Amino acid sequence: MPLSVPHIPYPSLCLGLIALLSGTACGPQNEEQSARFACHVLDPDRGAGQFGFLDAAVGDARIVQLGENTHGVKDYTALKTSAIGYLHAQMGFDVIAFESAVYQCDESDRHLAERPAQTSLLLCVYGVWHTPEMLDLFDYIAASQSTDRPIRIAGFDIQPIGPNKTARPDFLSTMMAKVAPEEADALAQLDQDFLEIYASGNRNRRTFFRSSDGAAMASQYDAASDRLALMEEPDRDQIIARMTLRSMAAYIRQQSAPDMASYAERRDLGMAQNLIDIGDRLYPDRKIVVWGHNAHIRHANADIEPHPDAFPGVRVRLAGSDVRDHYGADVYTVGFYAAEGQAMNNRGAVFDIAAPDVDSLEARLAAVPGPAAFVDLDQAREAASLAWTQTPISARFNAQTPLIQILPDQFDGVVVVDIAHPRGTLSSDRTGKAVAQRAIDDDSTSVGCDLSGTNQP
């Protein structure tokens, strides 16, 4: 039975905000009514009902991308899980594409109904998301398998990080046997060689991939991918096989890139191609949620002035630009940021998030009473108190390095968490709440906010 949360009547909560702000957050009394529709108070501990505003914000978009400026904040995962609960239960989104490996997530997807949720999580997503908070989402995914609208999962990264690859050579060989039986064994051996080289460690694998033998291996993967592309009306397995082959070629070339720009762009081009394949070929008639880093999903990364402390430190075009160009208004992208608190980096070390600079994105939205705030950037155009969203502003990469950007050029919406908490680990006690599951009976309401005071945080 779905979990429930206490219902706080919308008028009572509005009165509380009015008392705090001496503003007009809840009343259609002036142009700040627009801010009420553009801005919404969020709480990582509340359920999916708080995301009712997504009906109007997302509209008819078929793809919703949920970002994060660092992978190590538990509050991001909790909020995104609640949002997915609403998107699935109320808006028909039933595919989640993770910034994780194509083959591993597909293999995990095939067994969602019979495997424990934690096993599915560990075999699909990268280690930075092996957390109690992400397990809440996978519990929800597992529960959906017994309904008439089960959630499917997919991966779009080219990096083959993690376990769950031992059956891959045979899988690829079986797919090749359907179009070129004489090449099936050679492909199995090629992929087995790759996995052995990959398992040998960073230094050994990069030395090999940068050699002429590595270049030849990438060309062999490309040739196999091209061979599978000749299939008429390919089924799901054949699509996954081709995406995997193309990803391995892209990964080898990324590892042998001559500079940081090429290193970043080769990965992200492969990611974009995989996302487009997921949307156009694997699930052409489904609504899709994309889960990844802000940098990969924002729409115009090359327009942002690079900073030496923000990877890759040079101006590059990343995956979000290709996805936006391909899908246009069919994609709705949300960036996640934190004002203060702590986060965990990719190596598992906790770091402090410094107080934000005055007039930064983080400072402005942290001035809104409540644990977090969301702004729809299109609606914000109509609100005088949100005029700052249309001009260059600082927002931090990886919760540390400020990057100047024009928000509507990069995202359709942004979320700022006031006080961030570092992600947990699955080895610790699980204290998270299954917030997505509450989507079914959570009658809490979206809460608008008055931003008239945020120009002077």
The one-digit pLDDT tens for each residue of the chain (457 residues) are: 333 322 323 222 232 332 223 222 222 334 556 667 899 999 999 999 999 999 999 999 999 999 999 999 999 999 999 999 999 999 999 999 999 999 999 999 999 999 999 999 999 999 999 999 999 999 999 999 999 999 999 999 999 999 999 999 999 999 999 999 999 999 999 999 999 999 999 999 999 999 999 999 999 999 999 999 988 888 999 999 999 999 999 999 999 999 999 999 999 999 999 999 999 999 999 999 999 999 999 999 999 999 999 999 999 999 999 999 999 999 999 999 999 999 999 999 999 999 999 999 999 999 999 999 999 999 999 888 899 999 999 999 999 999 999 999 999 999 999 999 999 998 755 544 555 555 544 556 777 775 554 433 3
Report the phi/psi class of residue 402: left, alpha or beta, with left for phi > 0 and alpha for psi in -120 to 50: beta
Return the pLDDT at 385: 87
Q: From CA 457, how far away is CA 453, in angstroms rounded?
A: 7
Q: Is residue 457 part of a domain?
A: no
Q: Is residue 453 part of a domain?
A: no
Cα angle for residues 241, 331, 308 (degrees, 5° grid): 85
The SS3 assignment for 455 reads coil
DSSP 334-398: EEEEEEEEEEE-TTS-EEEEPPPPTTSHHHHHHTSSSSEEEEETTGGGG-GGGGGGGS-EEEEET
Q: Is residue 351 part of a domain?
A: yes
How many independent structural domains does the chain possess? 1
pLDDT (tens digit per residue) in 202-236: 999 999 999 999 999 999 999 999 999 988 888 99
Whether 58 contacts 332, CB under 8 Å: yes
Q: From CA 391, how far away is CA 173, in angstroms rounded?
A: 53
Return the pLDDT at 16: 30
Whether 383 contacts 34, CB under 8 Å: yes
Q: Is residue 1 part of a domain?
A: no
| CA 19 to chain CA mean position, Å | 36
Q: Is residue 216 part of a domain?
A: yes
Q: Is residue 293 part of a domain?
A: yes
Domain that holds residue 43: 10-448
Return the pLDDT at 33: 65
Q: Is residue 129 part of a domain?
A: yes
Q: Is residue 454 part of a domain?
A: no
Q: From CA 215, how far away is CA 226, in angstroms rounded?
A: 17
Report the sign of the C-alpha dihedral through residues 46, 374, 88, 288, in that order.
negative
Do β-strands 393-397 and 401-405 pair in parallel, antiparallel, or remain unpaired? antiparallel
Do β-strands 413-420 and 152-157 pair in parallel, antiparallel, or remain unpaired? unpaired
